[in-house]
Structure 1
Amino acid sequence: MKVTIENSTTVKPIYDPSPPPPSTAYIPLSAFDKVAYDAHVAIIYAYRPPAMPTATLKLGLQRVLAVYREWAGRLGMNHKGETVVLLNDQGVRFVEASMDSRLDQTLTLLKPSQALQSLYPSLKGIEELLQVQVTRFACGSMVIGFTAHHSVADGQATSSFLVAWGRVCRGLDIGPLPLHDRISYFIPRDPPKIEFDHFGAEYTSKKIVEDEASRFNNVALDDIVVHKVHFSADFLTKLKARASISCPPSDITNNNKRATYSTFECVIAHLWRAITKARSVSAYETTHLKISVNGRSRMNPRVPNQYFGNLVLWAVPSAKVKDLLREPVSHAAKLIHEAIAKVNDSYFRSFIDFTTSKVKHDPDIVTTASVEKPALCPDIEVDSWLRLPFCDLDFGCGSPYMFMPMYYPTEGNIFLLPSYIGDGSINAFVPVFKDQLDTFRQNCYILD
Structure 2
Amino acid sequence: MNPDTTKAVRQISKCTIKPYQVIEESKQPTYLTPWDLSFFNFQYIQKGLLYRKPAPSLEDPTPTITFIHQLKHSLSMTLTHFYPLSGRMVTKKQDNPPFYGIYVDSSNDSVGAEFIHAAVDITMMDILTPIDVPLIVQSFFALDGAICHDGHTEPLLVVQVTELLDGIFVGCTFNHVIGDGTSYWKFFHAFAEITRNLRKAGKHDGSISRLPITKRWFLEENGDPFLINLPFSDHKEFIEDRYERPFLRERMFHFTGESLAKLKAKANEECNTKHVQISSFQALSALLWRSITRIRHFNPDRITSCRLPIDDRLRLNPPLSENYFGNCVQSVSGATTVEDLLAHGNGWAALLLHEAIKEHTDEKIRGVREEWMKKPRISQTRPIFDPANLMMGSSPRFDVYSCDFGLGMAVAARCGFNNKFDGKVTSYRGLTGIGSVLLEVCLPPESMSALESDKEFMDSVSPHEIHVHHLAYV
Quickly name the TM-score band, shorter chain normalised: 0.7 to 0.9
Residue from 117, 123, 127 that aligns with 1:96: 117
Residue from 258, 263, 266 that aligns with 1:234: 258
**Residues 1:445 and 2:454 are matched in the alignment:** no
Find the residue that maps to 1:314 and give its secondary structure.
strand
* Alpha-carbon distance, 1:85 to partner: 1.3
* Alpha-carbon distance, 1:435 to partner: 2.2
Identity of aligned residues (%): 25
1:405 aligned partner:
415
Asked if the contact 1:97–1:134 (Cα under 8 Å) also holds between the matched residues in 2, the reply is yes
Task: Give the residue type in structure 1 aligned to 2:251.
Answer: H
**Residues 1:136 and 2:163 are matched in the alignment:** yes
1:193 aligned partner:
none
Task: Give the residue type in structure 2 aligned to 1:108.
Answer: T
1:12 aligned partner:
18
Cα distance change, pair 332–3 in 1 and its aligned pair in 2 (3 A): same
Asked if the contact 1:244–1:330 (Cα under 8 Å) also holds between the matched residues in 2, the reply is yes
* Alpha-carbon distance, 1:69 to partner: 0.4
* Alpha-carbon distance, 1:38 to partner: 3.4
Residue from 53, 73, 79 that aligns with 1:65: 79
Show CA shifts across 1:88-146 (max 9, x none): 3511110011223433345436943432121122335661011111112333x211121
1:190-201 matches, cutoff 5 A: none
**Residues 1:381 and 2:391 are matched in the alignment:** yes
2:215 aligned partner:
181
Find the residue that maps to 1:267 and give its secondary structure.
helix
Cα distance change, pair 299–439 in 1 and its aligned pair in 2 (3 A): same
* Alpha-carbon distance, 1:439 to partner: 2.0
Cα distance change, pair 188–344 in 1 and its aligned pair in 2 (3 A): farther
Cα distance change, pair 40–11 in 1 and its aligned pair in 2 (3 A): same
**Residues 1:38 and 2:50 are matched in the alignment:** no
The alignment of Structure 1 onto Structure 2 pairs a total of residues equal to 404
1:49 aligned partner:
53
Unpaired runs of 5+ in structure 1?
A: 190-205, 252-259, 360-364
2:470 aligned partner:
none
Asked if the contact 1:60–1:168 (Cα under 8 Å) also holds between the matched residues in 2, the reply is yes
2:467 aligned partner:
none
Cα distance change, pair 187–350 in 1 and its aligned pair in 2 (3 A): farther
Asked if the contact 2:399–2:429 (Cα under 8 Å) also holds between the matched residues in 1, the reply is no
Task: Give the residue type in structure 1 aligned to 2:375.
Answer: K
Residue from 105, 113, 130 that aligns with 1:86: 105
* Alpha-carbon distance, 1:289 to partner: 1.6
How far, CA to CA, are the matches of 1:446 and 1:100 in structure 2? 36
1:287-436 matches, cutoff 5 A: 287-359=304-376, 365-368=377-380, 370=381, 375-408=385-418, 409-422=420-433, 424-436=435-447
Show CA shifts across 1:167-201 (max 9, x none): 11123731221112213545699xxxxxxxxxxxx
Task: Give the residue type in structure 1 aligned to 2:113.
Answer: V
Find the residue that maps to 1:239 and give its secondary structure.
helix
Show CA shifts across 1:37-95 (max 9, x none): 53211012111132671111111100010111010011112464211111135111100
How far, CA to CA, are the matches of 1:247 and 1:87 in structure 2? 54
Task: Give the residue type in structure 2 aligned to 1:26.
Answer: P
Cα distance change, pair 184–430 in 1 and its aligned pair in 2 (3 A): closer
Find the residue that maps to 1:315 and give its secondary structure.
strand
1:118 aligned partner:
139
How far, CA to CA, are the matches of 2:352 and 2:384 in structure 1? 26
1:250 aligned partner:
275
* Alpha-carbon distance, 1:326 to partner: 0.8
- Aligned CA RMSD, in angstroms, stands at 2.8
Asked if the contact 1:112–1:406 (Cα under 8 Å) also holds between the matched residues in 2, the reply is no
Q: Which moved more, 1:324-333 or 1:84-93?
A: 84-93
* Alpha-carbon distance, 1:441 to partner: 1.7
Cα distance change, pair 23–270 in 1 and its aligned pair in 2 (3 A): closer
* Alpha-carbon distance, 1:20 to partner: 5.0
Asked if the contact 1:97–1:135 (Cα under 8 Å) also holds between the matched residues in 2, the reply is yes
Asked if the contact 1:391–1:400 (Cα under 8 Å) also holds between the matched residues in 2, the reply is yes
- After TM superposition, the score normalised by the length of structure 1 is 0.83
Cα distance change, pair 220–72 in 1 and its aligned pair in 2 (3 A): closer
Task: Give the residue type in structure 2 aligned to 1:380.
Answer: L
- After TM superposition, the score normalised by the length of structure 2 is 0.78
Unpaired runs of 5+ in structure 2?
A: 1-6, 55-63, 94-98, 147-152, 198-203, 224-235, 461-474
